[in-house]
Structure 1
């Protein structure tokens, strides 16, 4: 046990401590004028404490046992997504949460890591050889398609997109044939052009249909991004106010607890989805740059671990986790500065939320386990 703990990546642990401090103080500022969310900073500290315990415990657990159980995990994940659709609570327009008293649990978050483990197993069968269309790419696509559709119908567009990013990120390093890459990019480009064309052509009809099925917010978010000049001012107030608040922070920020836009309630969910706005407004460009530097160092340390793995499956797992983090950071910050559409994707390790934080810490624990068990790779199956 001690030998495994000695192999912890202390650089990552130190980065996580800094992220914990930033998260706690920013959540405190974001909820200070809103009694309804009083104590969220203390709860976040509690979640972090549990998260560190989860990460350390996962370090002691051999990741190869998890890989062998990928099919069981997949079955459990799909079952949870089906059950939550029928028995889950509706939060922010999506039926994606199990309500446990005052606590809520989102299965879609757990399925992220299950997808990564399953795809790593499927890709690892090739032992580094080129992936084929029929034996690898189609099975991987089918493996990801079911949870993707189950999350889409909740509807939870943010997590569904993350599933796609995880698949693409892992395939990118999985020795895919260039012809398949070009064909895939072609399909994506054609699909995007067709989507934008159809969306603009049948804008009102799409809105009426989505609104009828309680998904009108999807249309508002997409329309605001694609047609900002034509969108209703009420629909784009979050994006506009977020950019104003971040811009007002300037280089040094307005000062801790001094965010005017946040304090006056112009920024929705400042403790969660929009927490980067609070950082930009109160700590300015310097504070935002420090946060991005911490993310860069975290990703860098994880990529180093992936490079040093003897087991290709382990490398695939780490890259899947890296893909998840990189996209979530890019998407969350991007939607606050107007270069990405608004979604419900949170800022990893910073936004308030027990399920997402514990999932992120579990993912880090899986990376630690991979680092701790590489020396035994040649001696184990």
Structure 2
């Protein structure tokens, strides 16, 4: 395929990515149809048809993405990032509300979610910055700027409030910084305050983290001032965390408490998880058949076509169907890492690992959520869950991986 002066060669790597993406989208459309077919309401019928429209638009954007030279995305990374930050700010003031949060902007007859754009925008901007400063990536100034690139959209999304999506950046930023060559010690010290915050709810766990920090600082032999600064920072985090916890919305606190077992709420926040586990477990080895899942068709699980879509697959296609989905996800992730490892251009490699970390986080959290081993965070399953903004983001992400693979010999 030739487009202008650019010759595009599709090989096994590219074809495999595209095929995996199309299979996942097809499974998603079938599952959304099953989850909405038995309710004869225009709203649910509209959702299924709209997902098809989003898939068509995503295909167009995918083709555009692989047609552009990847250096276009490098050149426009900061501009895209800045525009997304403006959109996130706009959501806080003029955003449309839904589910207790203002997360959407109304554009024409559609609602778009800038927090989904922020994932790709941050990946591209951070890849650009780390590639431009690869010789000095461990300098304090560059580390702070790199962390800030992830922190700014994270805080704006948290403010909406959208805790689950904001935590995506905790997966993306460390993975990209590690891939760029940032010292593991520096990464550990940079993100340890997050662990300290979680540990601060129990005295023994907080002191355990402080003990580990003391051992690491002693072995690092970085000097007294360095050690005191990091110890003081983590102690401060442990002190202020209770106040930050109280600033969370009640439904967010309830989700976390229900997950760790401090709140038993089988008719409330735990209800979705319980019904999801029942649906998956009842599917057995081969499932009950398409459109024959009792939990799905009798609507025991509200909004099943969104974040809990995997329970539809588990019930109607069984363990084998779920295994196929997981295998496709694993293949996509492995292929993405292979592209990142084989690509000679730093920006292409870093952006690839960022996209892989984004997909991995969504897969891990969503599948864990529907099986009851992770909190209910409201994160969609890539390519499968209903929702236009993230479907477009995911398809563009695969388009970027394909594009980088086709140009992996470039410096």
Do they superpose with TM above 0.5?
Answer: yes
Q: Is the 8 A contact 1:23 1:349 kept in 2?
A: yes
Structure 1: state its 5+ residue gaps: 199-203
Q: Report the alpha carbon displacement of residue 216 of structure 1 after superposing the two structures with TM.
A: 2.2
Distance of aligned partners of 1:374 and 1:207 in 2 relative to their CA distance in 1, 3 Å threshold: closer
Q: Report the alpha carbon displacement of residue 258 of structure 1 after superposing the two structures with TM.
A: 1.6
Q: Is the 8 A contact 1:81 1:147 kept in 2?
A: yes
* Correspondence for 2:15 among 7, 10, 14: 10
Q: Is the 8 A contact 2:17 2:402 kept in 1?
A: no
Structure with the greater alpha carbon radius of gyration: 2
Q: Report the alpha carbon displacement of residue 228 of structure 1 after superposing the two structures with TM.
A: 5.2
Number of the residue aligned with 1:28: 33
Q: Is the 8 A contact 2:336 2:352 kept in 1?
A: yes
Cα distance in 1 for partners of 2:202, 2:381 equals: 27
Q: Is the 8 A contact 1:30 1:271 kept in 2?
A: yes
Q: Report the alpha carbon displacement of residue 183 of structure 1 after superposing the two structures with TM.
A: 2.3
1:107 aligns with 2:141: no
Number of the residue aligned with 2:64: 57
Cα distance in 2 for partners of 1:196, 1:222 equals: 15
How many residues align structurally? 369
1:125 aligns with 2:132: yes
Number of the residue aligned with 1:146: 152
Q: Is the 8 A contact 1:44 1:353 kept in 2?
A: yes
Cα distance in 2 for partners of 1:17, 1:232 equals: 37
Q: Report the alpha carbon displacement of residue 59 of structure 1 after superposing the two structures with TM.
A: 1.1
Range that drifts further, 292-301 or 45-54: 45-54
Cα distance in 1 for partners of 2:382, 2:247 equals: 33
1:179 aligns with 2:160: no
1:288 aligns with 2:322: yes
Q: Please, what TM-score do these two structures have when normalized by structure 1? A: 0.90
Range that drifts further, 27-36 or 185-194: 185-194
Secondary structure in 2 aligned to 1:236? helix
1:310 aligns with 2:344: yes
Q: Report the alpha carbon displacement of residue 88 of structure 1 after superposing the two structures with TM.
A: 0.9
Range that drifts further, 4-13 or 80-89: 4-13
5 Å-filtered alignment, 1:155-234, equals 155-184=161-190, 186-195=192-201, 210=248, 215-227=249-261, 230-231=264-265, 233-234=267-268
Cα distance in 1 for partners of 2:246, 2:187 equals: 37
* Correspondence for 2:333 among 287, 299, 302: 299
Measured on the aligned residues, the alpha-carbon RMSD in Å equals 2.5
Q: Is the 8 A contact 1:275 1:351 kept in 2?
A: yes
Cα distance in 2 for partners of 1:144, 1:158 equals: 15
1:339 aligns with 2:373: yes
Q: C-alpha deviations, 1:326-375, integer Å up to 9, x for none?
A: 11011111011111100110000001111111111111122222223344
